[in-house]
Amino acid sequence: AKSVDGQLVTDGGRVLNSVAVADTLKGALDKAYENASKIKFENSYMRRDIGQRALKAKEVE
């Protein structure tokens, strides 16, 4: 929603997806997390574990 002055605002729960493409899985994860970290709002929380299991499995191969 937009506030009276035209700024985007949130109200209640939110879910955000950040997607990125790179030559490697690690590169894509790094880009996705970097982009997501640029989005700020009060009481935001970003999980940093998503994709880590796949990255570790890839390292074992």
The secondary element (H helix, E strand) that includes residue 46 is: none
Q: The tokens of 47 are what?
A: 């999980």
In this prediction, what percent of the chain has a pLDDT beyond 70?
Answer: 90
Cβ neighbours of 36 (radius 10 Å): 18
Prediction pTM value: 0.68
Where is pLDDT greater, at 22 or 3?
Answer: 22
Rounded-to-integer distance, Cα 46 and Cα 24, Å: 22
Residue-wise pLDDT tens digits, 19-39: 999 999 999 999 999 999 998
Rounded-to-integer distance, Cα 35 and Cα 18, Å: 7
Residue ranges of domains in the chain? 1-46
